[in-house]
């Protein structure tokens, strides 16, 4: 029997639960793609490799299954590089596979080699691991090491270079080794440390949970919710909108973008940090809103990487392990412990409700062009309550933080890197992961949406009914504010450089999607309902007030403090 390397690759990936492949078919991968489809895989061919990698990341964030994306030799691989850097910053365990010319090309002393470059070197700085499969016999160990590296300690991306001579080689079939036999799948914390943490929690009077994106991307919603409901304490986002533990929505607050969240932080006596780097967005847990009582506040930190302990701030009880194992450990030890919802936390809930109501009242109700705050209010009241919320853009994302009327169970944004253009690919990946169970709603600025607008065709081709709400100010949104502040009113390349002839709804229809163009607040909810009813991918272009989008961005002062003592 002829047994090819590309068959073995699929078997190695299947052992890890992977059955979806992102990439553009090309000679390097023709056999891989065809064989994958024959084995029942989903093949997603984007229009740009970068977008394909973002799709893989979006699917991983909603499923927990490692994303795999391929790029063809030369320009295809080059197109993956920005997404690889983004994945590294987002701690996303994505497997990047690059096609390459036969390995003999690597050593030839010649010039003018078409499409040949030492591709793996482009990835070395960002990747946790890079490798070239020079010989077929290396295949298993390299792929196993790739998964081991991607999921050990702080998660991150890896890169594998596959020369054509290796890809087409024949090998002897061998039994597939299960992941449990070559990498660590579970990592509970030391029981003695768990016991210390439990005692600290029991003795606290105003504990809070500081929950980061790691809790969301690990799909640990249920265990996080169980712990939060045992403690009946405030849950603080490390970013203004993230996922929330089910049953805890009322007492889930952003820090700095809500008086309730800031007060809960400043008056807390114990912090249980889960799935977060304790970075600049929370002032490293010691400055800004954390400065009050910093010397008395005690910290419990659940973290996979022991090298993270004590870097940004001191930690009283480090729980080194995978939060998917450690949080259940805490819950088990606390199962006989109950803390009622006290008057203090009830007061925070009421304070947050008043804060949101005040912002609703300040939002111009009938103004045309539509104020961005009104767009957020109307949109987030009209979308399904269980929607997966994806965000993209600058001003648009910041408006969402303050004016969204839902705290979504799942919210996706490349919050660590801030890479524009991820929104539509993320939404496509998320919808692939959720299939028909839940609708995915993207709220994006028009500049960000235009980065990968061609992927609307991918959504149509794959029948993925993502709803894209695009706040259209026909400018570079929040950048206008910066330009005006530094350069005065002379901002020719940021303001009105498209003009209102830009009709994204018509572009959507050209791709075979549903399109809506909205200029009045009262028309937003009906447009969203029509888009939902269409069952198609949809673009709802909503014209917003460009001046307000630049000038009135809420919470900008808080956002600017994330950079601590320096900008450069």
Opening angle at CA 49, ends 44 and 53, nearest 5:
70
pLDDT for position 36: 97
Looking at residue 204, the DSSP 8-state letter turns out to be: -
pLDDT classification of 567: cutoffs 50, 70, 90: very low
Q: Are 318 and 293 in contact (CB under 8 A)?
A: no
Q: pLDDT exceeding 70 applies to what percent of the chain?
A: 93
The more confidently predicted of residues 493 and 201 is: 201
Find the mean pLDDT for residues 85-108.
88
pLDDT of 558 over the 50 cut = yes
Report which of 31, 158, 39, 191 is spatially closest to residue 91, judged by C-alpha positions: 158
pLDDT in tens, 439-448: 999 999 999 9
pLDDT for position 493: 60
Rounded CA Rg of the chain: 24
pLDDT in tens, 270-324: 999 999 999 888 999 999 999 999 999 999 999 999 999 999 999 999 999 999 9
pLDDT in tens, 252-284: 888 878 899 999 999 999 999 999 999 888 999
pLDDT of 568 over the 50 cut = no
Find the mean pLDDT for residues 515-543.
98
pLDDT for position 1: 58
In order of start, what are the domains of the chain with their CATH numbers?
5-175 (3.40.50.970), 191-348 (3.40.50.1220), 363-563 (3.40.50.970)
Find the mean pLDDT for residues 462-485.
82
Find the mean pLDDT for residues 519-544.
97
Give the Cα separation of 12 and 23 in Å (integer): 18
Give the Cα separation of 558 and 552 in Å (integer): 14
How does the average pLDDT of the chain come out, rounded?
90
Report which of 304, 329, 318, 156 is spatially closest to residue 226, judged by C-alpha positions: 329
pLDDT of 50 over the 90 cut = yes
Q: What is the distance, to the nearest Å, from the Cα of residue 346 to the centroid of all Cα atoms in its chain?
A: 31
The dihedral over CA atoms of 41, 94, 384, 223, expressed in degrees to the nearest 10, equals 110
What's this model's pTM, rounded to 2 decimal places?
0.94
pLDDT classification of 119: cutoffs 50, 70, 90: confident
Find the mean pLDDT for residues 169-183.
94
pLDDT in tens, 401-431: 778 877 788 889 887 888 899 999 999 999 9
Q: Are 93 and 151 in contact (CB under 8 A)?
A: yes
- Give the position of tokens 């780097």: 277
**Element (H or E) spanning 558, and its range?**
helix 556-560
For β-strands 235-237 and 207-211, DSSP reports them as: parallel
- Give the position of tokens 């890479």: 419
pLDDT for position 328: 97
Find the mean pLDDT for residues 25-53.
95
pLDDT in tens, 190-246: 999 999 999 999 999 999 999 998 888 899 989 999 999 999 999 998 875 555 666
Find the mean pLDDT for residues 467-491.
74
The more confidently predicted of residues 463 and 495 is: 463
Find the mean pLDDT for residues 91-101.
93
pLDDT of 514 over the 90 cut = yes
pLDDT of 562 over the 80 cut = no
pLDDT for position 256: 78
**Beta-carbon neighbour count of residue 237 at 10 Å?**
27
Low-confidence winner among 262-276, 312-326, 477-491, 543-557 (lowest mean pLDDT): 477-491
Give the Cα separation of 562 and 398 in Å (integer): 14
pLDDT for position 118: 81
pLDDT for position 233: 95
Find the mean pLDDT for residues 379-391.
94
Opening angle at CA 335, ends 332 and 339, nearest 5:
135
pLDDT of 160 over the 90 cut = yes
Residue 112 φ/ψ, nearest 5 degrees:
75, 25
pLDDT classification of 480: cutoffs 50, 70, 90: low
């Amino acid at each position: 029997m002829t047994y090819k390397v590309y068959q073995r690759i699929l078997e190695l990936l299947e052992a890890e639960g992977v059955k979806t492949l992102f990439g553009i078919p090309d000679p390097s991968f023709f056999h891989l793609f065809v064989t994958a489809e024959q084995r029942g895989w989903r093949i997603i061919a984007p229009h740009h490799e970068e977008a394909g990698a973002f799709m893989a990341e979006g699917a991983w964030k909603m499923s927990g299954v490692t994303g795999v994306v391929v790029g063809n030799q030369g320009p295809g691989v080059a197109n993956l590089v920005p997404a690889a850097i983004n994945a590294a910053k987002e701690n996303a365990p994505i497997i990047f596979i690059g096609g390459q010319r036969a390995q003999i090309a690597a050593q030839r002393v010649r010039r003018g080699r078409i499409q040949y470059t030492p591709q793996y070197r482009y990835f070395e700085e960002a990747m946790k691991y890079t490798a070239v499969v020079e010989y077929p016999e290396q295949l298993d160990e390299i792929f196993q090491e790739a998964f081991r590296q991607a999921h050990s300690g702080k998660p991150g991306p890896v890169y594998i270079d596959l020369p054509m001579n290796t890809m087409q080689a024949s090998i002897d079939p061998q039994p597939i080794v299960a992941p449990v036999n070559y990498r660590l799948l579970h990592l509970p914390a030391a029981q003695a440390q768990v016991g210390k943490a439990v005692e600290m929690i029991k003795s606290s009077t105003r504990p809070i949970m500081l929950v980061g994106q790691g809790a969301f991307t690990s799909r640990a919603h249920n265990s996080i919710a169980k712990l939060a409901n045992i403690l009946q304490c405030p849950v603080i986002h490390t970013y203004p909108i993230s996922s929330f533990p089910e049953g805890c929505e009322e007492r889930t607050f952003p820090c700095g973008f809500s008086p309730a969240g800031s007060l809960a932080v400043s008056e807390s006596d114990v912090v249980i940090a889960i799935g977060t780097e304790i970075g600049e967005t929370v002032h490293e847990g010691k400055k800004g809103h954390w400065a009050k009582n910093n010397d008395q506040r005690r910290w419990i930190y659940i973290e996979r990487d022991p090298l993270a302990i004590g870097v940004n701030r001191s930690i009283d009880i480090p729980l080194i392990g995978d939060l998917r194992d450690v949080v259940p450990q805490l819950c088990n030890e606390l199962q006989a412990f109950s803390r009622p919802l006290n008057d203090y936390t009830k007061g925070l809930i009421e304070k947050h409700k008043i804060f949101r109501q005040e912002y609703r009242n300040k939002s111009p109700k009938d103004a045309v062009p539509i104020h961005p705050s009104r767009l957020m209010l109307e949109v987030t009241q009209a979308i399904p309550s269980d929607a997966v919320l994806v965000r993209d853009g600058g001003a648009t994302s910041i408006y969402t933080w303050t004016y969204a009327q839902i705290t979504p169970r799942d919210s996706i944004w490349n919050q660590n890197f801030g890479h524009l253009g991820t929104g539509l690919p993320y939404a496509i990946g998320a919808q692939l992961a959720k299939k028909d169970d839940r609708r995915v709603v993207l709220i994006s600025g028009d500049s960000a949406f235009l980065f990968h607008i061609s992927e609307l065709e991918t959504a149509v081709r794959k029948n993925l009914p993502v709803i894209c709400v695009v706040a259209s100010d026909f400018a570079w949104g929040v950048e206008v504010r910066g330009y005006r502040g530094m350069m005065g009113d002379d901002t020719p390349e940021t303001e009105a450089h498209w003009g209102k002839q830009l009709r994204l709804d018509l572009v959507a229809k050209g791709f075979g999607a549903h399109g809506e163009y909205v200029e009045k607040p009262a028309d937003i909810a009906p447009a969203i309902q029509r888009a939902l009813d269409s069952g198609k991918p949809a673009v709802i272009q909503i014209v917003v007030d460009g001046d307000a989008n630049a000038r009135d961005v809420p919470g900008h002062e808080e956002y600017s403090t994330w950079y601590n003592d320096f900008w450069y």
